[in-house]
């Protein structure tokens, strides 16, 4: 993941070059003065630069070659060698032509910022340059004197609020808006996925089985083995929503249902095995009859999501299944969804903290459950995993968000076993 657009800001000490060209001694004095000024301001400016993800470049006083005509970037006329001028990395202005691109006032100060080859007052750059939209790559417009912007709590990229409803695609997995000029993958049921998420996506039931086994092993390692063999099926969005309507007590997520633990008898179109003939191959769905054999007939998961997200949804649904198979009473949504989210969160964290946990196990005297040693995740997958963890933590719905937060606190205070025991007997978290 590159920082999409590294805006370059040149920190400029503007110099009156004509005075210097013939006076080398003057050069040294001025250079020393520049250094002094810079030292005072470097810290502050570095902070600004860091905040803006910009690079700080010092203008060189020798940037203008005296062999060529010098043309003013403001009025496009020639600047005579005797004239005073402002210079920044070879871009030159008449002193009277240096205009701030934000406020359209003259820049009289001898220090200014360059943002994408345009000059700004220091104060104007400060206000504007860290408010660049990562979607349209333009400055986020002022509304009156204020700048209003949207910002994802994990990715922390700012964007114009208008992109939320101007048809800009949003990744159905990591929630990032599609930057202009980038490609997103369009799934057949209308969802879009960013390139990063789509590089890890799981597309059919067959492809999901290793992950299913991995999560079954995870439950076993927690001493919560599911004895019942439950089919796991990947389905399209529409099929999932239909199946949800068929459930008598299906709590579901407010924004989008991504998984379901099915108890009723239903016939569901399932994506068994996709023919790998390129990204746009048609989905091969077949009707699948779910027969009521026990409390849980199947777990349905939305297809096309990246591995870690699919896994966390699976862990969540497996927890529903476990609760039913263990004969837990009907629970309030914030208790049931809360504890299921706790499991999803635990599994995700076990994946992204792999290096850390492996080290812990190696150093401990090994009475602990041997955790399946996983390959270290790639940087991109690790970052996505962290995003999915934050999505769970920051969910603002009552059942999933508040439920998770209370459940997580209970588990960290009393342990998972104790918390579950308490839920079974009182239908509440132990608080």
Strands 8-13 and 111-115: antiparallel
Q: Is 102 one of the binding residues for Zn ion (CB under 5 A)?
A: yes
Binding mask 153-172 for Zn ion (x = CB under 5 A): -------x----------x-
User: What is d(CA 50, CA 324) in angstroms, rounded to the nearest whole number?
Assistant: 51
Helix pair angle (403-414, 416-426), 10° resolution: 120
Q: Is 132 one of the binding residues for Zn ion (CB under 5 A)?
A: no
Q: Is 89 left (phi over 0), alpha (psi -120 to 50) or beta?
A: left
Among 70, 115, 133, 235, the residue binding Zn ion under the rule CB under 5 A is 133
Give me the least distance between CB of 361 and Zn ion, in Å please: 30
Q: Is 194 one of the binding residues for Zn ion (CB under 5 A)?
A: yes
What residues from 362 to 421 belong to the interface with Zn ion (CB under 5 A)? none
User: What is d(CA 25, CA 343) in angstroms, rounded to the nearest whole number?
Assistant: 71
Give me the least distance between CB of 163 and Zn ion, in Å please: 6
Give me the least distance between CB of 337 and Zn ion, in Å please: 5
User: What is d(CA 268, CA 287) in angstroms, rounded to the nearest whole number?
Assistant: 5
Number of residues forming the site for Zn ion (CB under 5 A): 21
Binding mask 297-326 for Zn ion (x = CB under 5 A): ------------------------------
Task: Select 57 or 380, whichever has its Cβ closest to Zn ion.
Answer: 380
In degrees, to the nearest 5, what angle opens at C-alpha 314 toward C-alphas 337 and 174? 85
Among 14, 59, 64, 100, the residue binding Zn ion under the rule CB under 5 A is 100
**Stretch of 38-46, 70-78, 276-284, 356-364 contacting Zn ion, by CB under 5 A:** 70-78
Among 14, 70, 72, 88, the residue binding Zn ion under the rule CB under 5 A is 72
What residues from 76 to 95 belong to the interface with Zn ion (CB under 5 A)? 94
Q: Is 257 one of the binding residues for Zn ion (CB under 5 A)?
A: no
Among 14, 136, 305, 423, the residue binding Zn ion under the rule CB under 5 A is 136
**Stretch of 26-34, 189-197, 368-376, 391-399 contacting Zn ion, by CB under 5 A:** 189-197
Among 48, 114, 125, 197, the residue binding Zn ion under the rule CB under 5 A is 197
Among 121, 191, 237, 307, the residue binding Zn ion under the rule CB under 5 A is 121
Task: Select 61 or 257, whichever has its Cβ closest to Zn ion.
Answer: 257
Among 64, 98, 115, 124, the residue binding Zn ion under the rule CB under 5 A is 124
Give me the least distance between CB of 370 and Zn ion, in Å please: 29
**Stretch of 8-16, 108-116, 180-188, 331-339 contacting Zn ion, by CB under 5 A:** 331-339
Q: Which of 430, 199, 170, 152 is nearest to 308 (CA)?
A: 199
Q: Is 135 one of the binding residues for Zn ion (CB under 5 A)?
A: yes
User: What is d(CA 211, CA 234) in angstroms, rounded to the nearest whole number?
Assistant: 12
Q: Is 254 one of the binding residues for Zn ion (CB under 5 A)?
A: no
User: What is d(CA 193, CA 183) in angstroms, rounded to the nearest whole number?
Assistant: 9
How is the beta sheet containing 55-58 ordered, strand by strand? 55-58, 8-13, 111-115, 118-121
What residues from 348 to 367 belong to the interface with Zn ion (CB under 5 A)? none
Q: Are 395 and 401 in contact (CB under 8 A)?
A: yes
User: What is d(CA 219, CA 326) in angstroms, rounded to the nearest whole number?
Assistant: 13
Q: Is 97 one of the binding residues for Zn ion (CB under 5 A)?
A: yes
Among 40, 75, 360, 394, the residue binding Zn ion under the rule CB under 5 A is 75
Cα separation of the two ends of the chain: 42
Residues that bind Zn ion (CB under 5 A): 72, 74-75, 94, 97, 100, 102-103, 121, 124, 133, 135-136, 160, 171, 173-174, 194, 197, 337, 340
């Amino acid at each position: 993941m590159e920082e999409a657009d590294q805006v370059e800001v040149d920190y400029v000490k503007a110099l009156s070059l004509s005075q210097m060209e013939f006076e080398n001694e003057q050069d040294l004095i001025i250079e020393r003065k520049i250094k002094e000024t810079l030292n005072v301001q470097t810290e502050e400016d570095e902070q600004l630069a860091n905040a803006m993800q910009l690079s700080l470049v010092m203008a060189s006083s020798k940037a203008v070659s005296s062999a060529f005509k010098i043309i003013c970037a403001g009025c496009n006329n020639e600047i005579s060698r005797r004239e005073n001028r402002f210079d920044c990395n070879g871009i030159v202005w008449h002193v009277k032509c240096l205009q701030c691109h934000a406020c359209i006032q003259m820049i009289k100060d001898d220090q200014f910022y360059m943002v994408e080859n345009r000059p700004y007052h220091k104060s104007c750059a400060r206000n504007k340059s860290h408010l660049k939209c990562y979607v349209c790559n333009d400055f986020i417009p002022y509304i009156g004197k204020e700048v209003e912007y949207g910002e994802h709590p994990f990715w922390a990229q700012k964007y114009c609020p208008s992109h939320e409803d101007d048809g800009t695609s949003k990744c159905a997995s990591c929630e990032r808006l599609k930057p202009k000029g980038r490609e997103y993958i369009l799934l057949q049921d209308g969802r879009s996925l960013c390139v990063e998420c789509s590089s890890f996506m799981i597309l059919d039931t067959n492809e999901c089985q290793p992950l299913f086994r991995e999560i079954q092993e995870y439950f076993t390692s927690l001493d919560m083995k599911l004895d019942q063999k439950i089919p796991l099926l990947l389905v399209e969005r529409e099929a999932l929503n239909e199946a949800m309507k068929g459930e008598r007590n299906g709590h579901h997520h407010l924004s989008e249902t991504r998984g379901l633990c099915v108890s009723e008898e239903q016939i569901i179109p399932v994506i068994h095995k996709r023919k790998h003939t390129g990204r746009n191959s048609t989905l091969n769905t077949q009707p699948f009859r779910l027969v009521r054999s026990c409390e849980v007939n199947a777990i349905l998961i939305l297809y096309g999501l990246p591995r870690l997200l699919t896994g966390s949804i699976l862990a969540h649904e497996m927890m529903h299944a476990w609760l039913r198979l263990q004969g837990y009473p009907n629970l309030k949504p914030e208790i049931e969804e809360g504890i299921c989210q706790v499991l999803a969160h635990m599994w995700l964290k076990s994946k992204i903290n792999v290096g850390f946990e492996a080290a812990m196990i190696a150093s401990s005297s090994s009475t602990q459950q041997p955790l399946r040693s996983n390959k270290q995740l790639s940087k991109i997958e690790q970052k996505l995993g962290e995003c999915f963890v934050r999505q769970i933590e920051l969910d603002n719905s009552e059942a999933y968000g508040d439920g998770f937060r209370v459940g997580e606190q209970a588990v960290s205070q009393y342990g998972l076993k104790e918390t579950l025991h308490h839920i079974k007997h009182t239908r509440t978290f132990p608080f």
